[in-house]
Amino acid sequence: MLQKLLLNTTLKSICNIKCIRKFSDHSTISLPKRIFSGIQPTGTIHLGNYLGAIRQWVRLQEEENGIILSIVDLHSMTLRHDPKVLSENILKMTATLLAVGLDPKKVIIFQQSSVPQHTELFWYLSCISTMARLAHLPQYKEKSAQLKDIPLGLFVYPVLQAADILAYRATHVPVGEDQLQHLQLSQELTKMFNNRFKTKFPIPHAVITENAKIKSLRNPEKKMSKSDPDTKGCIYITDSEEEITKKIKKAITDFISEVEYKPETRPGVSNLVLMHSAVTGKPIETIINDAKGLSTAEYKHIVASEVNDHLSPIREKYYEYLDNPQHLLDVLETGRSIVTPIAEETLREVRKALGIGFNVNNKQMLSVNI
């Protein structure tokens, strides 16, 4: 019953989306507007993940209809992984997306590997990609520098990202600054495919929003990360109130007692102010004025309280969803049933353009000159 309700509701929203795009010749045509994004199932998300990306999707769902959001489990295989952990993380990520406020009636949530058209299109795009172009991507350089034996998947996964986008003819892709070059590759491959095979797939455009760039609590010069060697530097949405309070109290600031927002000269306390602003919606100027006369130690208690107030209901919903795995599987299956026909329609056109898309039901015989 749930699957049928979600399917009918989401199909109505995705089929009626239109946007206007202007081309270089100043002509204007109507194209389906489709927003696509993906997130790796890497376990519990931290506060930086949530405030920097996921919460933007929650806001977008109120402004746009039929957003397609993929849990990109195939991208989690570029480095060695534990199959049992990956399975658990897929459900954990689904629970997280629902807990933060994404509504399956408004956003299509599905598991990437359940739609085989992604990998099929990946192969076609890899045949027009070059090793020289992929080797220049900064994330490959960064990750491969730490490895003795470099997995092929680590080298080619940006092509799979392009396939993820092109499979749904996405016109807009929310991305962080660190993924801009990968989106540029997707744009290049789409243009190349259109030019070489005379197709008319839309060129995806980046959607960059003003996100809160939360830094590590223990090293405010670097972004908050799970790989931080100091575990106190990262706040997870599943952390208890006691854990969050303890981590914020231990946050690195400086020897100046006054609360200020000066990211260049006082990154530690500025990070706390930014975090405070992000979870409350208060302007930074208001926060600074309200904190006049407080020491940074006193101010940390306020920040901890606000972060806890914001994350507590999310944490509660997260565990409620995890306690009902069948509901999570239903959400993913509903999403798969919606996006598969869209991806298959794209692949039919791609196969035909490549010369391999024969219609076996066509009664007209092919004429072959020998």
State in Å, rounded, how far the first CA of the chain is from the last one.
56
Provide the whole-model pTM.
0.87
Comma-separated ranges of CATH 3.40.50.620 domains in the chain: 2-212+325-344
Query: Regarding beta strands 205-207 and 19-22, do their DSSP bridges make them parallel or antiparallel, or are they unpaired?
Result: unpaired
* Whole-number Å distance between alpha carbons of 154 and 74: 11
**How much is the pLDDT for 348?**
97
CATH of 231-318, one of 3.40.50.300, 1.10.510.10, 3.30.365.10, 1.10.240.10: 1.10.240.10
Supply the CATH classification number for the domain 2-212+325-344.
3.40.50.620
- The more confidently predicted of residues 2 and 21 is 2
Confidence at 31, pLDDT banded by 50, 70, 90: low
Residues forming the active site = 143, 223, 226
Least confident of 199-213, 214-228, 272-286, 325-339: 199-213
- Asked if residue 187 has pLDDT above 60, the reply is yes
pLDDT in tens, 139-161: 888 888 888 888 999 999 999 99
Confidence band, pLDDT 50/70/90 cuts, at residue 3:
low
Where do the CATH 1.10.240.10 domains begin and end in the chain? 231-318
Strand ranges inside the chain, DSSP E: 19-22, 28-31, 36-39, 67-71, 107-111, 172-174, 205-207
Q: How far apart are CA 125 and CA 191, in angstroms?
A: 11
Where does residue 95 fall: left (phi above 0), alpha (psi -120 to 50 degrees), or beta otherwise? alpha
Tokens 């990202």 -> residue: 161
The β-bridge partners of 20 are 30
The answer to whether residue 220 scores a pLDDT higher than 60 is: yes
Report the pLDDT value the prediction gives residue 207, as an integer from 0 to 100: 87
